[in-house]
Amino acid sequence: MSTENTVLCPCKSGKSLDNCCKPYHEGTVEAPTAESLMRSRYSAFVLGLSEYIWRTWHKTTRPDLDILGGLGLKWIDLKIESTQAGKNTDTTGQVHFIASFINGNKGKKLDEISDFIKEDGLWYYVDGESNTYDISRNDACPCGSGVKFKRCCLR
């Protein structure tokens, strides 16, 4: 019988956390692509892993660890819209994603095109262009439940 943790990874890959982002978080494996780094960073926000987020942020744009934002939010969904470059053999990449979250009693969607760079074999988040939109209480919940937001994740 397997003792593997069957908790699904927050990055929405459909894999278990143990077989997806956790090895990146623990530093036992490096993210092979810009998208895998982006997904692991999203998971780190969900799990409150500030050290990982900070470590994977490029030194030229990295904020101070003590002012790192987004950790107090309730992250509820991630959708990858597209990726450009960012494969194992590339040195730059972009990932367009939409991440849904709750801040207080308000639902929001962060729509961002993130830039990544690979240096010395490691991928880093550099920065991104983003917009934030409200989620209406009567919208379908971003988590995919099919229930209105106010009756699902907003509760």
- Cα separation, 20 vs 14, in Å, equals 9
Q: Which of 3-7, 41-45, 88-92, 95-99 has the lowest mean pLDDT?
A: 3-7
Q: Are 39 and 13 in contact (CB under 8 A)?
A: yes
Average model confidence (pLDDT) across the chain: 93
Bridge partners, residue 127, by sequence: 115
pTM beyond 0.75, yes or no: yes
pLDDT of residue 71: 83
- Cα separation, 132 vs 8, in Å, equals 26
pLDDT of residue 88: 87
Bridge partners, residue 103, by sequence: 106
Residue-wise pLDDT tens digits, 84-121: 999 989 999 999 999 999 998 999 999 999 999 999 99
Share of the chain above pLDDT 70, in %: 97
Which band of pLDDT confidence, cut at 50, 70 and 90, is reported for residue 42? very high
Domain residue extents for the chain: 22-151
Residue-wise pLDDT tens digits, 47-70: 999 999 999 999 999 998 888 888
pLDDT of residue 5: 54
Q: Are 24 and 30 in contact (CB under 8 A)?
A: yes
CATH code, 22-151: 3.10.450.50
